[in-house]
């Protein structure tokens, strides 16, 4: 099969979805797909069998959720334009605003359309180390309203509160955050219909403590009588897709280097942004197996390096390499820098057949400009 391509696996996706459904049922909460992590709408019919709706960062994702997912559509943005809110009001069930000022400006329009209005809170409780760009509670954060910025005059306009502070975290960090949130904002919850706990819950990871999550959600429901929402992105498609690449050439410059037909910068930008070293099937850490290579992309960017990996035998032109956990934050983030072609998107069904959902061409590069 022509490389490069992403391969989404229906069986793996459904494994995640079954676990998420069981969490929703045991905890008595609703779970939404955060589309910013994954928007392959051709697979939404499967996802919507298990989840309660989708959440959006703006008009485009909300429209995609409305058109292709059905069920509930939610949206949040750090700031909305008036024309966005007008459009979102006919697409969404919930809109979450970032500040009391945006609530005051847009709540009347939302109410007229029957849209539930929320405010994002910043509980000022950092639970993650290392990834400051993924910490909405970092000092100086624009994401959410702190207690000092809370304006009680908006309370009558609010149906719910929202916080999103986690990234790839377990339920112990959620527990710490919920405690901080309730200490500061719990007094407002009895007058709310719902509480949205955002995303970043790594629920489908093997060591995730699901029982604790269920306890936390049930506790919130019992104490405050609110409908609880979770909106994971990553957890929905964790380990549910791969990126298939080929070796184009090898060279030696102090170390062995293999140039692939995939680029970190264009096809897996989180490798550089986060940064992290993606899993690669059949490989080891540098030096672990006999032959170590630096795997790099074909763009002009000197730093277009995926990582150092080792193999049992030397790499040669034409070898296929398969990167793991490539369904999340990849296809939504690819770009055509250097005029790089976009990888095709394929789907491995439970029947073992591979279906091509999308292939890209020169026109996709040209039409964006
Ligand atoms: C990014 C984001 C999510 C999803 O986060 P994951 O880490 O992919 O689970 C959910 N809600 C909000 C507001 C977000 O910004």
Residue entry with tokens 């970043």: 200
Torsions phi, psi for 336 (to 5 deg) = -110, 30
| Atom 8 of ligand 1: nearest residue by CA position | 233
Q: How much is the pLDDT for 227?
A: 98
Residues 236/20, Cβ–Cβ less than 8 Å? yes
From ligand 1's centre to the CA of 113, what distance in Å?
Answer: 26
- For β-strands 344-348 and 354-358, DSSP reports them as antiparallel
Residue 328: count of CB within 10 angstroms of its CB? 22
Residue 253 CA to ligand 1 center (angstroms) comes to: 41
Per-residue pLDDT at 129: 80
Q: By alpha-carbon position, which residue is closest to atom 10 of ligand 1?
A: 199
Predicted pLDDT at 107: 98
Predicted confidence (pLDDT) at residue 123 exceeds the cutoff of 80: yes
pLDDT, mean over the chain? 98
Q: Is the pLDDT confidence value at 244 over 90?
A: yes
Residue 130: predicted pLDDT: 73
| Residue of 54, 164, 177 best suited for mutating to test ligand 1, as the one with most atoms within 8 Å of CB | 164
Quote the pLDDT of residue 205: 98
pTM score, whole prediction: 0.97
Query: Does ligand 1 lie within 6 Å of residue 34's CB atom?
Result: yes
Exposure string for 331-357, b = 16+ CB within 10 A, e = fewer: beebebbbebbbbbbbbbeeeeeeeeb
How do residues 124-154 score in pLDDT, each as one tens digit?
A: 999 998 778 899 999 999 999 999 999 999 9
Give the confidence band of 16 by pLDDT, cuts at 50, 70, 90: very high
User: From the CA atom positions of the chain, what is the Rg in Å?
Assistant: 22
pLDDT at site 232: 98
Q: How far apart are CA 364 and CA 104, in angstroms?
A: 40
Q: How would residue 341 be classed by pLDDT, with cut points 50, 70 and 90?
A: very high
Residue 273 annotated as binding site: no
Question: According to the model, what pLDDT value does residue 122 have?
Answer: 98
Q: For ligand 1, is residue 85 a contact (CB within 6 Å)?
A: no
Task: For residue 233, report the distance from its CA to the centre of ligand 1, in Å.
Answer: 6
The pLDDT value given to residue 133: 87
Give the span between the Cα atoms of 118 and 189, in whole angstroms. Answer: 12
Torsion region of 338: left, alpha or beta (phi above 0 gives left; psi -120 to 50 gives alpha): left
**pLDDT number for residue 211:** 98
**pLDDT tens readout for residues 278-309:** 999 999 999 999 999 999 999 999 999 999 99
Taking the centre of ligand 1 as the mean of its atom positions, its distance from the CA of residue 231, in whole angstroms, is: 7
Percent of the chain with pLDDT over 70: 100
**Mean pLDDT, range 52-69, rounded to an integer:** 98
User: Of 31, 33, 37, 173, which is best to mutate to test ligand 1, by the most ligand atoms within 8 angstroms of its C-beta?
Assistant: 37
pLDDT surpasses 90 at 31: yes
pLDDT attached to residue 267: 98
237 ligand 1 Cβ < 6 A: no
**pLDDT tens digits for 173-204?**
999 999 999 999 999 999 999 999 999 999 99
* Residue 14 counted as an annotated binding residue: no
Nearest CA to ligand 1 atom 5: 199
């Amino acid at each position: 099969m022509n490389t490069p391509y992403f391969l989404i696996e229906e069986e793996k996706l459904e494994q995640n979805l079954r676990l998420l459904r069981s969490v929703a049922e045991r905890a008595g909460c609703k779970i939404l797909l955060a589309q910013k992590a994954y928007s392959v709408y051709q697979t939404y019919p499967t996802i919507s069998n298990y989840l309660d709706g989708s959440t959006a960062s703006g008009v485009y994702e909300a429209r995609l959720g409305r058109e292709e997912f059905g069920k509930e559509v939610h949206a949040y943005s750090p700031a909305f334009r008036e024309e966005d809110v007008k459009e979102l009001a006919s697409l969404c069930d919930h809109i979450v605003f970032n500040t009391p000022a945006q609530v005051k400006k847009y709540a009347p329009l939302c109410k007229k359309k029957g849209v539930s209005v929320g405010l994002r809170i910043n509980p000022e409780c950092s639970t993650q180390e290392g990834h400051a760009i993924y910490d909405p509670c970092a000092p100086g954060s624009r994401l959410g309203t702190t207690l000092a910025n809370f304006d009680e005059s908006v309370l009558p306009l609010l149906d719910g509160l929202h916080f999103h502070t986690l990234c790839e975290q377990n339920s112990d960090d959620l527990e710490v955050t919920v405690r901080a949130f309730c200490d500061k904002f719990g007094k407002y919850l009895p007058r709310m219909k719902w509480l949205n706990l955002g995303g970043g819950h790594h629920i489908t990871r093997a060591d995730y403590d699901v029982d604790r999550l269920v306890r936390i959600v049930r506790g919130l429901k019992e104490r405050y009588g609110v409908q609880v929402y979770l909106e994971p992105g990553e957890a929905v498609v964790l380990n549910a897709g791969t990126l298939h690449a080929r070796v184009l050439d090898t060279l030696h410059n102090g170390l062995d280097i293999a140039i692939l037909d995939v680029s970190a910068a264009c096809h897996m930008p989180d490798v550089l942004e986060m940064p992290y070293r993606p899993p690669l099937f059949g490989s080891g850490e540098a030096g672990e197996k006999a032959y170590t290579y630096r795997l790099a992309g074909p763009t002009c960017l000197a730093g277009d390096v995926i990582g150092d990996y080792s193999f049992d035998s030397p790499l040669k032109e034409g070898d296929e390499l398969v990167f793991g956990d490539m369904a999340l934050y990849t296809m939504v983030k690819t770009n055509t820098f250097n005029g790089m072609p976009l990888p095709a998107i394929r789907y491995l069904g439970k029947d073992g057949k591979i279906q091509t959902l999308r292939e890209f061409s020169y026109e996709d590069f040209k039409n964006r400009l």
